[in-house]
Amino acid sequence: MRRLGFIISVVAIGIAIGGYVFFNGERKPPIRYRTAAVERGEIVSVISATGTINPVVSVQVGAQVSGMIKSLHADFNSRVKAGDTVVVIDPEPFKARREQAASNLEMARSNVARSKADLAQRKRELDRVQSLLPQQFVSQNDVDVALTNFQSAEAQLRVTEAQVKQAEAALNAADLELKYTVIRSPVDGIVVARNVEVGQTVAASFATPDLFLIALDLTNMQVDTNVSESDIGGMTEGKEAVFTVDAYPGVSFAGTIKQVRLAPINIQNVVTYNVVVGVDNKDLRLKPGMTANVSIVVAQRDQVLKIPNAALRFMPPKTEGDRRGSDGQATKADGGRPIHTGREAGQSRTVWKQVESGDLVSLPVQTGISDGVTTEVLSGGLTEDDSVVVGIEQPFGERKSNELPPGFGNQRRPRSR
């Protein structure tokens, strides 16, 4: 009897422990899905880019001669008209060169007069010996020598006349260089940049130094943006663009695309294209060089079905026993959950819908444009009253450490020494 009682006690304890484990053991809670309604409304597809505000026409004023800056007649933000003097380079060295060129011209002209007199003398000598030759008062050799002297005098006259032309060209060049010491504005505009000071020496031997930058008109500006090659297909002239600048927070400026330049810009194997956006700047609030954050409207749809982008990214968890039905829907076996069908080629995508039984079914849809938050649904099995799965609800306390957001995981503290 004592042995039988011991066996019964052991069996009772085992049953108690099994019941406790069975009823109070760890259970996985049922999966709850987050859903979002399929809505109908407006979708605007926008491409964002960064650009720089520049004047439509800007002229760089340079120096064509080298020398020291003697005086400045314009400064930053100065309004100038075409022909106004902006810089004067010290003209004294150029005046000296001009005087030297003028004296060389006078010398060349004097040589011409002397060559003409010598030619006339040689002509008289040739006539004299030719008249005496029939009477045999002179020899044929004398005639030949006189003819040679006459021809030499003619050649010398042509040389001196060429020297006169050369001296005239040198004088004209000296006059032109002297004229270039006074630099004038080529256009009407506003001085945006001044790069020289009085007393500074500029050298125009190899490249033209830039003295001023004059903007033709600041009431009409343009934004030069760099659009990636993946987005350039939607850029056409006349499209609307909106941009903001840091100088005016919360203020949006409107413009239109004036030009899509064909020259590619390759920086570290990243190809972009320059898209020029024209903007009216009558109030002169926009300054050259400002950084603009541009948003260009590529496409717009009104009253279309749209779903959150999270629904297109959602992937149901995988479990053993999942299988796909022949109709394209995921079915359950042995209590498993459906698997993700994945993305099809082109614009065909897959979203998931939860039915009344709690199962998920996949619905293929054709998508259109997107605004970054929602995507247009062109065709598929969705209606305005449907809801699509966008994620899984999971209590924060049940998350594993590797599933917590960055900065919230368990970190080992260094031991104090």
CATH of the domain at 156: 1.10.287.470
What per-residue confidence (pLDDT) applies to 194?
Answer: 93
* Backbone phi and psi for residue 67, each to the nearest 5 degrees, phi listed first: 165, -175
Residue 372 sits in which domain range?
A: 32-43+305-395
Q: How far is Cα 299 from Cα 297, in angstroms, rounded to an integer?
A: 6
Q: Residue 7 in 3-state DSSP?
A: helix
Domain end call among 251, 270, 300: 300
> Do residues 175 and 252 both lie within one domain?
no
305-339, pLDDT tens digit by residue? 888 998 888 888 775 334 343 333 433 333 333 33
Provide the pLDDT for residue 10.
67
Q: Which runs of consecutive H residues, i.e. helices, occur in 50-182?
A: 92-132, 140-180
What's the CA gap between 321 and 202, in Å, rounded? Answer: 83
Alpha-carbon distance of 304 to 376, in angstroms, equals 7
Torsion angle of the four alpha carbons 301, 307, 313, 315, in this order, in degrees rounded to the nearest 10: -150
Find where tokens 């614009």 sit. Answer: 347
Q: Is residue 174 domain-shared with residue 236, that is, in the same domain?
A: no
pLDDT grade for 356, boundaries at 50, 70 and 90:
confident
Domain count, the chain: 3
Least confident of 107-111, 165-169, 290-294, 344-348: 344-348
**45-98 pLDDT per residue, tens:** 888 999 999 999 999 999 999 999 999 999 999 999 999 999 999 999 999 999
The distance in angstroms from the start CA to the end CA of the chain is: 64
At 321, phi and psi to the nearest 5?
95, -5
Q: Classify residue 167: in a domain, yes or no.
A: yes
Domain membership flag for residue 389: yes
Q: Report whether 84 contacts 73 (CB < 8 A).
A: yes
70: its two tokens:
């003697």
99 shares its domain with 167: yes
Query: How many CA atoms lie less than 13 Å away from 265 in the CB half-sphere?
Result: 12
Tokens (6 digits) for 54: 């520049």
312 domain residue, yes or no: yes
- 142 belongs to a structural domain: yes
In a domain, residue 118? The reply is: yes
pLDDT of residue 324: 40
Do 291 and 254 lie in one domain? The reply is yes
Q: What is the CATH number of the domain that holds 326?
A: 2.40.420
Tokens of 395: 């209590």
Mean predicted confidence (pLDDT) in 216-237:
90
Q: Is residue 338 part of a domain?
A: yes
Last residue within a domain, chosen from 285, 300, 315: 300
Structure tokens at 354: 């939860």
CB atoms within 10 A of CB 153: 20
